[in-house]
Amino acid sequence: MLEKGNKKLINSWAFYDWANSVYPLVISTAVFPIYYDSVTKTDSGLVTFLGMQFDNTALYSYSLSFSFLLVALISPFLSGIADYVGNKKSYMKFFCYLGSFSVMALFFFEGVETLWIGIIFMILASIGFWGSMVFYNAYLPEIAYNDEQDSVSAKGFIFGYAGSVLLLIFNLSMVMKPEWYGITDSSLAPRISFLLVGIWWMGFAQYTFKYLPFNVYNKKPKKDYIFKGFLELKKVLLELRDLPILLNFLISFFLYSVGVQSIILLATIYGKTEIGIPTSNLIMTIIGIQIMGIIGAHFFSKLSKKKGNITALKISIIVWALVSLSAYLLEKEDPDVHIKFYIISGILGLVLGAIQTLSRSTYSKLLPEETQDHTTYFSFYDVTEKLAIVWGTFIFGISVAITGSMRSSILLLTVFFLVSFVVLSFMKKTEYVR
């Protein structure tokens, strides 16, 4: 087993970002939302699912909310067990394979007639991705020392942005120029891209699974380990009451995650529906955001070393608030709206990687040094994020259903960013987080 701080161990951990980041980019952000919108568009704007009629965008948003709610419900249970028996790698593998095979199943989603395939496997893929991230994130304090965690966390996101952009460029060439590959069916190219995402994710994850340790603390499972898993979870819940700084951070994290994750998941549909950005331009914009994300993750990692995690986080939150407000102020009739959208997207890219990597490393630094329950603690981090996504995507769904527009939701997200900034301002500094 490789020792903590070993370069190969750190790189193998970060490489899971390379493997799985194609899912949030291609499936959550770029190709699938646009494909879903195009193949489910009807004259009435309504689709039928489970015998009920929904606005197609609202159904997409509700499905995302449901998937994240399921993850939020099961991850504390699973992570408590994984911490007690020490086998988080096994759980990470299970969710990785659940996600990758579900993504591949989206190949069979061809339109409103197969809408159930799109919705069900989109939900399962989301559960697989975010479920695996609970255990992946929990490895951070076990593979890197405290003073390394900012740079190691950033390395993971940088690997992820780089790998996902490579596959997206190839998928983009298929979607925009299907004739290069002898493809005549317009729906086949994006469906092949879903297949490739699953293969990429599962294939490259094998390098991570080869080197990640199986049971760092040599825990021995007992017959009543399921019950003990709940006890571990209860113990951490009680400990959180005596960790006011960690609770302060979690509250702020919840508030700004409502905005961050909602924008990430629904930005392409917003750009296409509310602003009228052509599909090809949207995908190129997303590639630009990923490239800017690499720069932003690296820059803010350096900034956090000089100015501290909290200062760097506060700067990124303010930029997010300005981006959200600017997106709300965009008018479809403005002749320069496309240029303004691209500028806003570039700025968003800079803080996208920043806020994600800083959040993960800041939380890791705030964990009690004596704890071995890293997975259980990180389940609270992940549950907080998932509940934020449930709330954010539900707001979008309700807004679309009531007003027929997503612009009011964008304005609400700005408020969440501003309140999170205020909460974070009251957080006390620690030895590792300042």
429-430-434 Cα angle (round to 5): 50
Q: Return the number of other C-beta atoms located less than 10 Å from residue 57's C-beta.
A: 26
What is the enclosing helix (H) or strand (E) of 52? strand 52-55
Exposed (0-12), middle (13-18) or buried (19+): which is 408, by Cβ within 10 Å? Answer: middle
How much is the average pLDDT of 266-282? 76
Q: Return the number of other C-beta atoms located less than 10 Å from residue 224's C-beta.
A: 10
| Residue 130 pLDDT exceeds 60 | yes
CATH no. for 7-213+224-425: 1.20.1250.20
Would you state the pLDDT for residue 432?
Answer: 52
Is residue 185 helix, strand or coil?
coil
| Residue 376 pLDDT exceeds 80 | no
Contact 76, 380 (CB under 8 A): yes
The 10s digit of each residue's pLDDT in 141-161 is: 788 887 777 788 778 878 887
Q: For the chain, what are the domain ranges?
A: 7-213+224-425
Among 47-51, 254-258, 280-284, name the one with the lowest average pLDDT: 280-284
Would you state the pLDDT for residue 429?
Answer: 67
How much is the average pLDDT of 81-85? 66
- Sorting pLDDT into bands at 50, 70 and 90, what band is 421? very high
Q: What is the largest CA-CA distance in the chain?
A: 67
Q: Rounded to whole angstroms, how far apart are CA atoms 285 and 28?
A: 15
Mean pLDDT of the chain: 82
Measure Cα distances from 348 to 135, 285, 321 in Å: 27, 11, 10
Q: Rounded to whole angstroms, how far apart are CA atoms 346 and 25?
A: 16
How much is the average pLDDT of 335-342? 86
Is residue 53 helix, strand or coil?
strand
Would you state the pLDDT for residue 108?
Answer: 94
| Residue 296 pLDDT exceeds 80 | yes
Q: Report the Cα–Cα distance between both ends of the chain, in Å, rounded.
A: 33
Across the strands, what pairs with 47? 54
Would you state the pLDDT for residue 316?
Answer: 92
The 10s digit of each residue's pLDDT in 380-409 is: 777 788 888 888 877 777 777 777 777 777
Would you state the pLDDT for residue 85?
Answer: 66
- Sorting pLDDT into bands at 50, 70 and 90, what band is 223? low
- Sorting pLDDT into bands at 50, 70 and 90, what band is 226? low
User: Which of 126-130, 183-187, 272-276 is modeled with the greatest confidence?
Assistant: 126-130
How much is the average pLDDT of 41-56? 80
Would you state the pLDDT for residue 215?
Answer: 66
Chain-centre distance for alpha carbon 303:
23
User: Which of 55-64, 254-263, 312-321, 371-380 is modeled with the greatest confidence?
Assistant: 312-321
Would you state the pLDDT for residue 152?
Answer: 84
Would you state the pLDDT for residue 218?
Answer: 63
